[in-house]
Chains A and B, each alone.
Chain A
Amino acid sequence: MGASFSRRDSLYRLVNSQAFVALLFLAAPVLLLAALKIYPVFYNLYLSFTRYELFEPPRFVGMKNYNYVFNNSVTRQSIINTLLFTIEAVPIGTALALVIAKLLDQSIRGRVFLRTLYYLPVVSSVVVSAMIWRWIYSPQHGLLNYFLGAVGIPPQNWLNDPNLALISLVIVTIWGSIGSNMVIFLAGLQDIPRDVIEAARVDGANPLQNFLLITVPLMRPVILFVVVTFTIGIFRNFGLIFMLTQGGPFNRTNTMVWEVYQNVFGYLRLGRGAAISVVMLVIVLILTLISFRVLRERQGA
């Protein structure tokens, strides 16, 4: 080190410096992310304080859009619906995915095949899934009513009954997300040292105890990750609503993302749509922070 200080050397040193390489490698991704993720957050925030109908420049209106969001019954309902959707889908969906992942995380015959089957709904697009399920939910010739009929339950109008529509969407959502959550859990299970579980088993822990007392606690960060991404996934769930219920019946499946779409592309109220998006974003961020905190407390206890 430091024997010669030729110009070529210092140039090389510059080019090979951490800062230069970082700049070189980060330029494209960071610029793109700034344009697509960071700038839009702030521009969206700005728009949420304006009235903007695209063909005239945005006009500042203060808190008017936010007043609307929290006072208008339809919009308020959309916030409630989104939270209901999350509460109904996330705990069950996450638990099922974890159990399946744990069961698949053994060297059993047919493991790869079974895993593939569980993953298929994820591979299938939202549009295809929605189409299939609309057919299954069909009141007249649907498979689900046929199964229910076999056990004596009268046919239900799944997607059009105000009391069933949201549940119907939750079912499709859980079905469609078990695979992806399972894969994340499977990856997480890799990181649990085999010998810890082996040791517990040797010490007499049964598989259930092993799962609840060893696997689940060790998997907490992964569970957190799944809960957060799953929740965000539900907030993003546009295609299913577009294809299956269009926010109906009677706004029962009118979620925030649908409300944004309606305001922007239905009524051309970009400012109001932006305000709903901001509320949506704040809720997502709060949920994320809460789960982080809950996790930390549990770990501390």
Chain B
Amino acid sequence: MKQQSSHPGTFSHWEARIPLLLTYVILIAGAFVMIMPFAWMVSTSIKPDREIFGDSIQWLPSELDMQNYTDAFEQTNMPRLFANTVLVTAVAVASQVLLGSMAGYVFARLHFRGKMLLFFALLTTMMVPFEVLIIPVFLLIRFFPLAGGNDLFGQGGTGLINTLGGVMFPNFVSVFGVFLFRQFYLGFPKEIEEAAIVDGCSRVGVYWRILIPNSKPVMGTMALFAFLWSWNDFLWPLVVVKEDSLKTIQLGLSVFDQEQGTAWAELMAASVMAVVPVILLYIFLQRFLVSGGLTSGLKG
């Protein structure tokens, strides 16, 4: 195999520039397309109606009009929507990280009869979209024993329907998480663990003292995905939640989806409010990804 270090300097600056320029042109043009809708959303949200529905496109508002935000805030009960969504999402993230890392450890490191069978059974369910199971899961939540007035056999009440618990339930664990953690732990050097076991460390101890402290990148990744899934979940809350006071932000936004004449300015203002916290959180969580998984290979 050729060693890159044996050919230093064969790569001239002149040759490098053209691909670099092309890279930038493509990437920036692409980024423009990706970002344009958001820019347009923000621009619409701060414009008065006459500029939104004018004869020609007005890129920037002539004056900053925050009225749309106060209107949207009042019409949707924003604080409540946020509180519900944050709670549901926090539980999903914490639970998926914890359960995913535990199961991932077992599948990566421990051996027992039927392990591969079980793992492939779980892996197969990753191919099963949740939407396909909406009927049985709805029935499971509807006839959940001992909840919402139900008896032990799930009869008599409404189960977990119309509760935040019902919204959370399908999000406690993800197969993707199990898979993600397993892959990460498989790539983790075994020697450290073996040394620890020789030193008398238990298996739980290996998981707890060695794997967990080194799982930051994968945890960040898992947390980000769990966060996005839960925050953006729409179909399930739509089916489970009946009451305004339990709605998540996604459901709350659909309040604006009126039949006759959509209030675009307010709708865009509400959308901005719904998406800004997510973007901020993403940028925060992204540092986990940057310092960990995704770019580690670039450093050499």
Within 8 A of A (CB), among B133-147: 133-140
Contact of B35 among A12, A120, A141 (CB under 8 A): A120
Are B173 and A29 neighbours in the complex by a CB distance under 8 Å? Answer: yes
The verdict on A273 contacting chain B, using a C-beta distance below 8 Å, is yes
Q: Is the CB of A175 within 8 A of B33?
A: yes
Chain B residues numbered 1-15 whose CB sits less than 8 Å from any CB in chain A: 1-4, 7, 10-11
CB <8 Å contact, A116 and B283: yes
In the complex, which residue of chain B has the Cβ closest to the Cβ of A183? B294
Shortest Cβ gap from B59 to chain A (Å): 10
**Which residues from chain B contact A19 at a C-beta distance below 8 Å?**
112-113
Q: Quick one: given A25-B105, A35-B140, A118-B31, are A125 and B112 in contact (CB under 8 Å)?
A: no
Contacts of B31 in A (CB 8 A): 114, 117-118
Q: Does B117 contact A (CB under 8 A)?
A: no
CB distance from A275 to the nearest CB of B (A): 10
B202: interface (CB < 8 Å): yes
Interface residues as binary, A267-288 with B (CB distance below 8 Å gives 1, 0 otherwise): 0001001100110110011001
**Is B86 engaged at the interface, CB distance under 8 Å to the other chain?**
no
Verify if A232 is at the interface (C-beta below 8 Å from B): yes
**Quick one: CB contact mask for B112-139 with A, threshold 8 Å, 1 for yes?**
1101001001100101111111111111
Does A290 touch B at the CB level, under 8 Å? no
Bound CA–CA A25/B181 (angstroms): 13
Flag whether A186 is at the interface (Cβ < 8 A).
Answer: yes
| B contact patch SS | helix
* Tally of chain B residues near chain A (CB < 8 A): 100
Question: A187's contact among B1, B34, B294, by CB below 8 Å, is which?
Answer: B294
Closest to B54 in A: A141
Is B264 a contact of A125 with CB atoms below 8 Å? no
Which residues of B are found within 8 Å of A288, using beta-carbon distances?
127
- 0 or 1 for each of A101-125: is its CB under 8 Å from B? (1 = yes): 0011111100010101111111111
Q: Does B195 sit at the interface, judged by CB under 8 A? A: no
Task: Report A137 CB to chain B, min CB distance, Å.
Answer: 11
B14-38 Cβ-contact flags toward A at 8 Å (1 or 0): 0000011001101110110111111
Q: How large is the interface on A (under 10, 10 to 19, 20 to 34, 35 or more residues)?
A: 35 or more
A-B contact count (CB 8 A): 271
Residues of chain B contacted by A280 (CB below 8 angstroms) = 129, 131-132
CB-based contact B135/A270 at 8 Å: yes
Residues of A229-263 whose CB lies within 8 A of B: 232, 235-236, 238-239, 242-243, 257, 260-261
State A274–B131 Cα separation when bound (angstroms): 11
The verdict on B66 contacting chain A, using a C-beta distance below 8 Å, is no
Is B172 interfacial (CB 8 A cutoff)?
yes
Q: Which of A102-155 contact B (CB under 8 A)?
A: 103-108, 112, 114, 116-129, 131-136, 138, 140-141, 143, 146
Contact B2–A199 (Cβ < 8 Å): yes
Report how far A28 CA is from B101 CA in the complex, Å. 12
The answer to whether A232 touches B106 (Cβ under 8 A) is: no
List the B side residues contacting A128 at CB < 8 Å: 41, 253, 271, 274-275
Q: Tell me whether A265 is interfacial, beta carbon within 8 Å.
A: yes
| Nearest CB on A from B4, distance (A) | 4
Asked if A297 is at the interface of the complex by the 8 Å CB criterion, the answer is no
Closest Cβ of chain A to B160, distance in Å, is 12
Q: Contacts A30-B118, A194-B297, A273-B135 known; A120 to B128 CB distance under 8 Å? A: no
Q: Does B44 make an interface contact (CB < 8 A)?
A: yes
A33 pairs with B27, CB closer than 8 A: no
Bound-state Cα–Cα, A133 to B267, Å: 12
Specify which chain A residues have a CB less than 8 angstroms from the CB of B131 in the assembled complex: 235-236, 238, 257, 260, 277, 280
| Across the A-B interface, the 3 shortest Cβ-Cβ residue pairs | A40-B136, A190-B297, A125-B232
Excluding A128-B253, A132-B37, A243-B254, 14 further A-B contacts by CB distance (< 8 Å) are A18-B112, A19-B113, A26-B103, A32-B173, A36-B133, A44-B135, A103-B23, A121-B37, A133-B37, A175-B33, A175-B34, A175-B37, A195-B1, A265-B239
Interface residues of chain A, those whose CB is within 8 Å of chain B, are 12, 15-16, 18-19, 21-22, 24-26, 28-30, 32-33, 35-41, 43-44, 47, 96, 99-100, 103-108, 112, 114, 116-129, 131-136, 138, 140-141, 143, 146, 175, 178-179, 183, 186-187, 189-191, 194-195, 198-199, 201-203, 207, 228, 232, 235-236, 238-239, 242-243, 257, 260-261, 264-265, 270, 273-274, 277-278, 280-281, 284-285, 288
- What residues make up the interface of B, taking CB atoms closer than 8 Å to A? 1-4, 7, 10-11, 19-20, 23-24, 26-28, 30-31, 33-38, 40-41, 44, 52-53, 57, 99-100, 102-103, 105-106, 110-113, 115, 118, 121-122, 125, 127-140, 169-170, 172-173, 175, 178, 202-204, 207, 228, 231-232, 234-235, 238-239, 249-250, 253-254, 256-257, 262, 264, 267-268, 271, 274-275, 278-279, 282-283, 286, 290, 293-298, 300
| Interface CB pairs A-B, < 8 A, 23 | A19-B112, A21-B203, A26-B103, A28-B99, A28-B102, A103-B27, A108-B23, A114-B27, A116-B286, A124-B232, A124-B279, A131-B268, A141-B52, A175-B37, A187-B294, A190-B294, A195-B3, A236-B129, A242-B234, A243-B257, A277-B135, A280-B132, A284-B129
